[in-house]
């Protein structure tokens, strides 16, 4: 990752030395999202959902623990059949807890989906504002400094994709 940043820095410095007219700007998207009321509202909704789901998981975990503790106390006096049935019930309950956790918090779970759904309009609004400011300020490139270096805007004049494709033909 450091190599990419160094190469990118060299690229920007090279462009700057080639063209004294090059204008570059940057934003801190974390700061924008922290101060933007729309983003705060979305984050509050997401936090409320997460808290609700965590409460439900807590109840499920508590129920499993209670049943398990009861099983541990009584397993020596249980018949083999009853012990097997109880162990199956405990495994089933444990699977339900795991499935619920995966459904809500997994890679493609509800949290991910809701985050995408609710944040998309806010992100579009921010990207539109960045593009408008970049054009008003006559900037050639705008980067986000919050995390990895990301292009948020590039003046179309610098897009050489078509030329590269033509050269490859």
Average pLDDT over residues 94-98: 96
Q: Is pLDDT of 27 > 80?
A: yes
Largest CA distance in the chain: 86
Instruction: Express each pLDDT in 37-72 by its tens digit.
Output: 999 999 999 999 999 999 999 999 999 999 999 999
3-class state of residue 97 by DSSP: helix
**What pTM was estimated for this model as a whole?**
0.67
Q: Is pLDDT of 150 > 90?
A: no
Average pLDDT over residues 1-18: 53
Out of 16-20, 116-120, 137-141, which region has the weakest mean confidence (pLDDT)? 16-20
How far apart, in whole angstroms, are the C-alpha atoms of residue 154 and residue 169?
25
- Quick one: pLDDT at residue 7? 46
**Would you list the domain boundaries of the chain?**
2-168
Q: What is the mean pLDDT of the chain?
A: 84
Which residues, 6+ apart, have CB-to-CB distance to 40 below 8 Å?
A: 34
- Quick one: pLDDT at residue 34? 85
């Amino acid at each position: 990752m450091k190599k990419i940043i160094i190469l990118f820095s060299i690229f920007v410095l090279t462009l700057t030395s080639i063209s004294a007219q090059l204008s570059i700007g940057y934003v801190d998207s974390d700061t924008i999202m922290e101060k933007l009321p729309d983003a705060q509202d979305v984050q509050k909704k997401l936090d409320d959902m997460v808290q609700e789901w965590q409460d439900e998981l807590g109840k499920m975990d508590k129920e499993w623990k209670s049943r398990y503790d009861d099983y541990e106390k009584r397993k020596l006096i249980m018949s083999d059949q009853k012990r097997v049935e109880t162990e199956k019930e405990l495994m089933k309950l444990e699977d339900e807890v795991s499935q619920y956790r995966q459904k809500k918090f997994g890679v493609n779970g509800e949290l991910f989906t809701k985050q995408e759904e609710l944040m998309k309009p806010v992100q579009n609004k921010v990207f539109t504002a960045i593009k408008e400011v970049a054009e008003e300020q006559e900037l050639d490139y705008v980067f986000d400094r919050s995390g990895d270096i990301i292009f948020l805007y590039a003046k179309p004049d610098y897009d050489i994709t078509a030329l590269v494709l033509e050269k490859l033909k």
